[in-house]
Structure 1
Amino acid sequence: MNSTIWMALALVLVLEGLGPMLYPRMWRRMIAALTQLPDNTLRRFGGGLVVAGIVIYYMLSRAAG
């Protein structure tokens, strides 16, 4: 796999870890609220994140190459 992908994954892990590390109570409340959402809403939210990630990756790869 390309080293850029590994660097991006590392950055995602760092950013994802900041929430529970810095704001554990707020993070716990957010997770509890997410468990109450219907499956369809979670799927749409996840799909939106995937599309946003692909678009950002495409834009950055075009700018770099």
Structure 2
Amino acid sequence: MSWQTFLIACSIVAIIEGIGPMLFPRRWQNYMQQMSSQAPGQLQQIGGVLVITGAVSLFFLI
């Protein structure tokens, strides 16, 4: 994998992550407040599920 591919992937992630706050700022604020009130262990589980889902998806797409 080249640096250019890595930077393209990071750029796509930034675009996708920015869509929510750009289009729905109030909903995004509410979402962030709800997330910040979660227990750290629960956030860790959510993050783990997202990482595993992304890794498995990437494995099947490549």
**TM-score of the superposition, structure 1-length normalised?**
0.82
Q: What runs of 5+ residues in structure 1 fail to find an aligned partner?
A: none
1:40 positional shift: 0.7
Mean Cα deviation higher: 34-43 or 1-10: 1-10
Counterpart AA for 1:55: V
RMSD value, Cα: 1.3
Match of 2:13, SS?
helix
> Residues 6-17 of structure 1: matches in 2 within 5 Å?
6-17=7-18
TM-score normalized with structure 2 length: 0.86
- Which blocks of at least 5 consecutive residues in structure 2 are unaligned? none
Q: How many correspondences in the alignment?
A: 61
